């Protein structure tokens, strides 16, 4: 993925908007590849399909019924690489992101036959949809870049708010690792997971970083406790893989959770 040149000290939203605008001015291949280090536009969407199916759809599947009737929302859709895959898996998909280039993303989605998507520009902390309106929320390689734990917490609160009763969320966020990143040893991963809570004394770590570098790490135990305190059930915990499918055996840099909001569900379609 594209990385800024200097440590960003003005806030993650300002820096991201500037870097993404710069990427958009350098052509489609650079813009769409910026979000995931894809070599070009087409490879970004192909890799996005693999990431969505492995990191989002597979862990969500045991808790999902009648996806043809469901509305999904992505926190941080970027260039739309996961959203394109999600559009084949749900009745409607909604993308939210802070950048100013949704028209470029819409065009790329239309090229791929996606006609059941809506994109919204956000302020970097809230989700611009009504409460109890979404069946599932997901986010991948985004919450590790939100800079402040308060923003991470706010996105959890917003996820709870917008989900319908019995709605499901699959959320990934930066993890603290010492030995297992880009390695395939489960023992090394378990060592990292066990020591994470001790190495992150407050349960999280805010880091100075360049734009698109990891600037927030949250322990799985702290994130789970926070989600439970908000009212979620934690259905499953996850860890990302370095690269899918080629590097599926190697551990990535994110923790993940599958969450459910309690209650009884109903269906409603979001309008532009």
What pLDDT sits at residue 11?
66
Q: Is 256 helix (H, G, I), strand (E, B) or coil?
A: strand
Tell me which residue of 140, 102, 142 sits closest to 125, measured CA to CA.
Answer: 142
Question: pLDDT tens digits, residue range 198-247?
Answer: 999 999 999 988 777 899 999 999 999 999 999 999 999 999 999 999 99
Tokens, residue 174:
């930066």
What pLDDT sits at residue 10?
58
Domain boundaries, the chain: 12-260
3-state secondary structure labels for all residues of 149-213: HHHHHHHHHHHHHHEEEEEEEEEEEECCCCCCECCCCHHHHHHHHHHHHHHCCCCEEECCCECCC
Check pLDDT > 70 for residue 251: yes
Question: pLDDT tens digits, residue range 163-212?
Answer: 999 999 999 999 999 999 999 999 999 999 999 999 999 999 999 887 77
Check pLDDT > 70 for residue 3: no
Q: Name the residue with higher pLDDT: 98 or 37.
A: 98
Q: Compute the 3-state secondary structure of the chain and give helix, strand, coil in percent, each to the nearest 5.
A: 40, 25, 35
Calculate the average pLDDT of the chain: 91
pTM of the model: 0.92
Instruction: Determine whether domain 12-260 maps to CATH 3.90.420.10.
Output: no
Check pLDDT > 50 for residue 266: no
**C-alpha triplet 218, 224, 225: angle, nearest 5°:** 100
| pLDDT-based confidence at residue 267 (cuts at 50, 70, 90) | very low
Q: Which residues pair with 173 in a beta bridge?
A: 255
Check pLDDT > 90 for residue 25: no
Question: pLDDT tens digits, residue range 118-139?
Answer: 999 999 999 999 999 999 999 9
Alpha helices in 9-126 (DSSP H): 12-24, 28-34, 41-51, 58-60, 81-86, 102-111
Q: Name the residue with higher pLDDT: 28 or 11.
A: 28
Q: Is 37 helix (H, G, I), strand (E, B) or coil?
A: coil
What pLDDT sits at residue 1?
46
What pLDDT sits at residue 9?
55
What pLDDT sits at residue 2?
46
């Amino acid at each position: 993925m594209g990385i800024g040149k200097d440590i960003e000290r003005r806030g993650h939203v300002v820096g991201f908007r500037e870097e993404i605008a710069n990427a958009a001015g350098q052509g489609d291949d650079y813009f769409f590849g910026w979000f995931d280090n894809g070599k070009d536009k087409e490879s970004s969407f192909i890799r996005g399909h693999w990431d969505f199916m492995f990191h989002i759809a597979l862990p969500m599947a045991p808790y999902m019924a009648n996806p043809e009737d469901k509305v999904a929302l992505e926190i941080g859709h970027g260039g739309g690489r996961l959203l394109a895959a999600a559009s084949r898996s749900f009745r409607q998909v909604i993308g939210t992101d802070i950048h100013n280039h949704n028209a470029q993303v819409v065009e790329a989605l239309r090229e791929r036959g996606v006609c059941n998507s809506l994109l919204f520009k956000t302020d970097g902390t809230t989700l611009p949809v009504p409460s109890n309106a979404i069946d599932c929320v997901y986010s991948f390689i985004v919450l590790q870049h939100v800079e402040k734990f308060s923003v991470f917490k706010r996105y959890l609160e917003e996820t709870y708010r917008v989900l319908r009763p019995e709605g499901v969320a699959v959320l990934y966020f930066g993890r603290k690792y010492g030995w297992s990143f880009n390695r395939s040893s489960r023992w090394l991963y378990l060592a990292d997971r066990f020591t994470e809570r001790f190495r992150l004394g407050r349960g999280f770590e805010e880091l100075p970083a360049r734009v698109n570098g990891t600037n927030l790490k949250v322990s799985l135990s702290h994130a789970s406790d926070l989600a439970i305190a908000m009212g979620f059930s934690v259905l499953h915990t996850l860890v990302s893989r370095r690269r899918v499918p080629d590097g599926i055996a190697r551990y990535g840099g994110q923790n993940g959770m599958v969450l459910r909001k309690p209650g009884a569900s109903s269906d409603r379609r979001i309008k532009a």
